[in-house]
Amino acid sequence: MKLVTAAALLLTLPVAAGPLTQIPKAADGHPDLSGVWQAVNTAHWNLEPHTSAYPAVIELGAQFAVPPGLGVVDGGTIPYLPAARAERDKHFVNRIADDPEGKCYLGGVPRSTYMPYPFQILQNTRDVIMVYQYATGFRRVYVDGKDEAPLNAWMGWSNGHWEGSTFVVEVTGLNGQTWLDRAGNYFSDNAKVTERYTLTSPNHMRYEATIEDPTVFSKPWTIRMPLYRIVDDDYRLLEFKCEPYAEEKIYGHLRKPVPPASGGSK
């Protein structure tokens, strides 16, 4: 009886947080986001909930079939304006030819975060650098930056600031040519993306991105997902320069036809 009482008492006592639950801190006292991270979900195929599906090219078989997913959109559905939804549907039909990923164009923001490749965060008090394995993408976030984008670009212009333990990044100057996933979801060059990075444990981070674009959507909307720190021994980003794989897709139609070889006897 005494053992049972003691055990019950132990269950009610507060448990001291050990070193595994402590959020790592940078030299300036902010959470240390540095490390290599990766999303593990199906947002890369479709941000919205979706069932499993045949690959876009049926001959590719199960290796390239679309896995099912619960979606990462807050509320489940992206609030497209009617004309924009029709444009998204057109993208889906033509996704093999038109998806910028197939042409090795940069993934943009937020797509680069949840593509099936790792990315690395390097952090100091002045800048936060994000390096992406896919297409050797690169992004510089200006901490407490106020400048506006000098021109539109694939990865946009990123100004960041801390709100308590969350690193908030406002991204503008996007060129509107990126897609948000392989299903053809998209926004225009009027879009603003507000990202929120919050460490929830030493090896887990909550990622949120709110997208505003009144020319495409009826209201702002948010995606949310966990990111996982890669803790493999001696792990590092490796080069994935995909340009050579895209040359035939982009420029193959410009190749001169090869004349048939002459043959036969005179």
Q: Render pLDDT for 204-228 as a digit per residue (tens, 0 to 9).
A: 999 999 999 999 999 999 999 999 9
Q: Give the pLDDT of residue 45.
A: 97
> Dihedral of CA 215/130/159/207: which sign?
positive
* pLDDT level of residue 58 (50, 70, 90 thresholds): confident
Alpha-carbon distance values, 34 to 19, 56, 64, 199, 255 (Å): 18, 37, 33, 11, 45
Q: Which residues 6+ apart lie within 8 Å of 92 measured at CB? A: 183, 184
Q: Is the pTM of this model over 0.85?
A: yes
Q: Is residue 238 part of a domain?
A: yes
Q: Is residue 8 part of a domain?
A: no
Burial level of 3, CB count in 10 A (0-12/13-18/19+)?
A: exposed
Cα–Cα dist 132/221, whole Å = 25
Mean pLDDT of all residues belonging to the chain: 90
* pLDDT level of residue 252 (50, 70, 90 thresholds): confident
Q: Is residue 66 part of a domain?
A: no
**Prior bond to 110 cis, omega within 30?**
yes
Cα–Cα dist 52/247, whole Å = 30
- CATH number at 134 reads 2.40.128.20
* pLDDT level of residue 176 (50, 70, 90 thresholds): very high
Q: Is residue 264 part of a domain?
A: no
- Count CA atoms closer than 13 A to 189's CA, side-chain side: 8
Q: Is residue 13 part of a domain?
A: no
Strands 138-143 and 157-163: parallel
Residue with tokens 């043959």: 263
The pLDDT tens digits of the residues spanning 194-208 come to 999 999 999 999 999
Q: Give the pLDDT of residue 3.
A: 43
Buried b (16+ CB within 10 A) or exposed e, 108-118: bbbbbbbbebb
Does position 11 have pLDDT exceeding 50, yes or no?
Answer: no
Q: Give the pLDDT of residue 57.
A: 85
Total domain count for the chain? 1
Q: Is residue 258 part of a domain?
A: no
Domain coverage including residue 96: 28-57+71-250
Q: Is residue 199 part of a domain?
A: yes
Q: Is residue 95 part of a domain?
A: yes
Q: Give the pLDDT of residue 257.
A: 79
The separation between CA 186 and the C-alpha centre of its own chain, rounded to angstroms, equals 13
